[in-house]
Structure formats: C-alpha cells, structure tokens
Amino acid sequence: MFDQLDQIFVTALHWLVGFLPVAWRSLASSLLCVGFIIMVFPGLFAIVTVIERKGLGRIQNRYGPNRVGPFGFLQFAADGIKALIKEDIVPRAADHVVHFLAPVVLLIPVLLAYAVLPFGRNMSVADYDAGLLFFFAVGGAVELSIFMAGWSSRNKYSLLGAMRAIAQMLSYEIPLILSAVSVVMIVGSLNLLDIVSHQNQYTFGIAHWHVFTPWGLVGFIIFFIASLAESNRSPFDLPEAESEIIAGYFTEYSGFKFALFFLGEYLGMFAICGLGITLFLGGWTSPVSWLAWIPSYVWFLTKLLAIVFVFIWIRGTLPRLRMDQLMNFAWKFLLPLALVNVVVAGLWHFLGAGALRWLVCAAILAAAYVALGHTLMRRQKLGKRIYRFAD
C-alpha cells in the first residue's frame, strides 16, 4: 500500500501514455512531466511569495498581505492580474528585441534545470549520466540574461546593477561548484540519481546523508551560502539594492516582463535548493529508516520548504553586505575553504572507516575555518560599531 502511494504519480503517468502508440509514448511522457513541473513549481512560487510576505511582516512587526482573499492568501492572484494588465513601458533608446528576450532567456534555463532533479523515487524527467554538469551548464545562461537586461535598457543604473550581479554570481558560483565536487569525488558519479542512491543506506536506523559527515556538513554550509548569493537573496541582494541603484538590472522593466524576472528568480531558488537537497540531504530519502514509509516526494517537498523557510528567515534578519565585503567573503574565505574541503573529502575516502578519519577531517576543517576567519577579519579591519544619534 505504501509503495503504491509512493509511486502514484509514476503509475498515473504510465497509465496515461499507455493509451498512445508505442512510438509516441516517450515524447508524451516527457511532455506530461514538463507540464507537471510548469504547474507545480510556479504554483509553489505563488504560495511562497504570500507566506514570505506574511512571515516578514511578523518578523518586522508590521502587517503583511491581509486584504485579498481569506487572510490575504490570494494576494498573489491580485499581483499577477496587475502585472498582466499593467502597461509595458520600454525606454525609447533601449534595444527592444534584447529587452524583450532577457526575461525569457532567464526563465527557460531555470526550467531546464528541473529536468535532472529527482523529486522522488523514479520521479525524474531525464536520467543523464552527467546530470550535475547539465544543471550547472544551463544555469550559466542566467548571467547572460542579466547582462542582456542591464545592457539593453540603456540605463546606467541598470548596467551597473547587471555588472554587479554578474560579478557576484560568477564569484559565488566557484565555491558552489567546488562544494559539489566533494560529493562527486565520494560517489564517483555525476548522475544525480546515483548520488541519491549512495545516501539511501542506513546504519542503526540513521541515513548515510552526506551532511552527517565533516566534509558534507562544511560542503552543505558553503553550498547554502553560495546559493543565497546565486539567488540574489539577502544579505547578498546587492544587484537589487534599492537604496543604491534603484532596482538593479530590471529598473526599466514593468508589467509582465518584471513578473517573469520575479518568477525566474524564485524558480531558480527552488531549483538550487533542490540540488542542495540531492547532494547533501539525501534527496527524496528519509533521515531514519522507520519513517521510510512516508512517500518520497513528500520528503523532498518537506526539505525544500524547510530550506526556503530559512531563506525567508535570513531575509528578515540579516542586513545587506557592502560590495567589498561580499567579494572578499567569496574569494578570501569561501573559495579557500571549499578547496580545503575537496582535499578533506579525498582524505575521508582513503583513510577508511573508523574514528581516525572523523578526527583528522574535522580537525583540518576546523583549523582552516579559524585561520581563514581570522585572516578575513584582520584584512577587513572591522572595528567595534558605535551608534550615534543625529544632532
């Protein structure tokens, strides 16, 4: 019974394509999976935006959305209708073709990234041997779309915001990929299904998730911080720093084009969170063996919502970094720590099972963290904050 509930979507897909000729079944299966992704994740985007605004309202002691629908939970529908009917204003000097294509170029690669994510047992659109490489490859087009938006607007604020966004995303993409390299070294595969299967083991009822190892915990923390920067989330939201450069690279966007950027950013956040879950948190697997009866897609969705909740919590808590702090943190702390973590992952593999490798790997990572942290703070020359009232 539990297995039937876990595979209900897979069974329904096979039943639907079973009515078609054999030559069409593969194409029809792919199209149905794509349609499922297009329905589920934009719907999740709509719900999360309302929950985020209500959560930030509670954190900041103010009202969130409370007018449209019961308890304000239809605010996303009102915002969507407004974006559809709002006038699309394009600057006279803008490159109209590139200005139009920029949000489309952002959205398409983000949707392609979902093709290789395993949402549950036997629930993956494409089973690529180099699925992790495919995810990072299509993600590289996001930088292109941001530059297209900033350059085509013929606005200095937009161009400055685009250049800052590209510098930030390229800087944090390096530790992001290096944190994933440690997983590839341990598993020996770029296939995301193999990475999940490697973690789908239990000892004394506890799962073999990578995050439960020293190198996996540090890799997950690096991945999490870098994913915040890649998603332009606070405290790394400098590309959209309204207090400095108006609205960043989409200053000259309005109406539905702006809504596409907004949608693309959140879908990108969900995708990169899904990749982090797959690499470090066991994907769709259960943390303990006695909860393995819960459907695999429920575990994946629960982990995804938990990470998104932490993203929202951080946005309502931490102040925005300065640009020099942001770049120094990437190049002088995260990147060296990620390189040390790759070496530690190799040591973990060759030292063999036992308490020795736990002690050695944890000691190396702790020493690297302390040394890099002291070096970063000394070079930043950060003094004690003094708060003064205006005269």
**pLDDT tens for residues 274-302?**
999 999 999 999 999 898 889 999 999 99
Q: For 36-74, how does the pLDDT look when each residue is reduced to its tens digit (9 = 90+)?
A: 888 899 889 999 999 999 999 988 888 888 888 888 888
Region 13-34: what's the mean pLDDT? 85
Predicted TM-score (pTM) of the model is: 0.92
The arithmetic mean of pLDDT across residues 346-372, rounded, is 90
Task: Give me Rg for the CA atoms of the chain.
Answer: 22
For 288, phi then psi, to 5°, come to -135, 150
Q: Mean pLDDT throughout 204-232?
A: 93
User: Ranked by mean pLDDT, which of 152-161, 354-363, 381-390 comes out on top?
Assistant: 354-363
Identify the top-confidence range among 125-129, 214-218, 384-388.
214-218
Under 8 Å between Cβ of 194 and 147 = no
Q: Which residue has the higher pLDDT, 310 or 87?
A: 310
Q: Is it the case that residue 310 has pLDDT exceeding 90? A: yes
User: 354 Cβ partners below 8 Å, 6+ apart?
Assistant: none
Q: Count CB atoms within 10 A of the CB of residue 169.
A: 22
Could you report the per-residue pLDDT of 112-167, keeping only the tens digit for each? 999 999 998 888 888 888 899 999 999 888 888 888 988 898 888 888 888 888 88
d(CA 80, CA 263): 11
Domain map (residue ranges) of the chain? 41-323
Contacts of residue 212, defined as CB under 8 A and 6 or more positions apart, other chains included, come to 206
Residue-level pLDDT at 234: 82
Tell me, what's the pLDDT at 17?
86
Q: What band does 19 get if pLDDT is binned at 50, 70 and 90? A: confident
- Determine the pLDDT at residue 338: 96
In Å, how far from its chain's centre is CA 56?
A: 20
Would you say residue 359 has pLDDT above 90?
A: yes
**pLDDT at residue 313, rounded to an integer:** 92
Q: What whole-number distance in Å separates Cα of residue 272 and Cα of residue 250?
A: 22
Q: Residue 383: pLDDT above 70?
A: no
Predicted confidence at residue 153, as pLDDT, reads 87
Residues 307, 44: Cα–Cα separation, whole Å: 14
71: left (phi over 0), alpha (psi -120 to 50) or beta: left
Mean pLDDT score across all residues of the chain: 88
Whether 321 has a pLDDT exceeding 90, the answer reads no
More confident call, 156 vs 271: 271
Q: How far apart, in whole angstroms, are the C-alpha atoms of residue 245 and residue 180? A: 33
Q: H/E element holding 207?
A: strand 206-207
> Is residue 222 very low, low, confident or very high in pLDDT (cuts 50, 70, 90)?
very high
> What does the pLDDT read at residue 386?
65
pLDDT at 158: 85
pLDDT at 218: 96
d(CA 106, CA 103): 5
Q: Which two tokens stand for residue 350?
A: 């060759």
